Every structure is written in C-alpha cells, then in structure tokens.
Structure 1
Amino acid sequence: MKIVLDRPRCEGHGLCEEAAPQLMHLDDEGELVLDREEVGEADAALAHAAVRMCPVAALRVA
C-alpha cells in the first residue's frame, strides 16, 4: 500500500499529521513531508485516517 500526495493541492492544514504522525509531518515551511510512502498493514488504518482528515483531498492510498 502506498500513500500518494498531490503536493499542489496540499494547503498545509496539518490534520493528516495529527491523524498519522508516524507517517507524515509538516516541515518548517508548512509543507507536508511523507516519512514513509510505503505502508504495511500495521499502519493501514493510520494512512486511511490521514486521507479522510484532509480537507482538500490531497492524499490518497493506492
């Protein structure tokens, strides 16, 4: 499973980071950084929660 970020769409709200801090974070400029793009079953629920939290649909799981 992979987390896909549509960088131009991301507005840096940080809700995804709150839902899955193990998988992503906002850098000092407010840009989202995926710490891990490949996600195993153990973190699948976190990845899906981050996708659901994004108010601009900048994340998806493939």
Structure 2
Amino acid sequence: MTTKVTLDMEKCCGYGICAEICPSVFKLDDQGFVYVDSNVVPEGEVDAAQEAADACPELVIDLHTS
C-alpha cells in the first residue's frame, strides 16, 4: 500500500508543527509554510506523518492510502 499526502496550502498558517514531528516528509519554505518534496510517504514514516497531520491546528494535511 502507498500512503500519499495532500496539502491545502491556502489554509497553512506556518505553525511548523508538522515539520517538527516528521521532518523527513514535511518541509518549511522560506516563509515558514509547509511543502513536501514528494507526495508519497515512505513506509517507515507513515505513523509520524499521521501524527503530524493530526497535530496540524489548521487541518491542512490529509493522508490517504491506496
């Protein structure tokens, strides 16, 4: 199974919690807003990515498995 990330960039307020919890998946740009290098979450990072998504105050991050 593959887990993918979808970000709602319009809602991101730049808290950076996601990047603190799962820096291998979530990055912050020069203005402090989240982005990902790849929308595919590595197998060993799925739990941390889900924790980061759950911790987002603006609910910007959505993970889905296919």
Counting aligned pairs with the same residue, the percent is: 32
4+ runs of 1 displaced by more than 3 Å?
none
Counterpart mapping for 1:21-60 below 5 A:
21-60=23-62
Normalization by structure 1: what TM-score? Answer: 0.88
Q: SS in structure 2 opposite 1:7? A: coil
Higher strand share: 2
Q: Deviations for 1:14-42, whole angstroms, at most 9, x for unmatched residues?
A: 00011101111111112212123101321
User: What are the ranges of 5 or more consecutive residues in structure 2 without an aligned counterpart?
Assistant: none
Cα RMSD (Å):
1.1
Whole-Å separation in 1 of the counterparts to 2:5 and 2:26: 10
User: What are the ranges of 5 or more consecutive residues in structure 1 without an aligned counterpart?
Assistant: none
Normalization by structure 2: what TM-score? Answer: 0.84
Equivalent residue pairs, number: 62
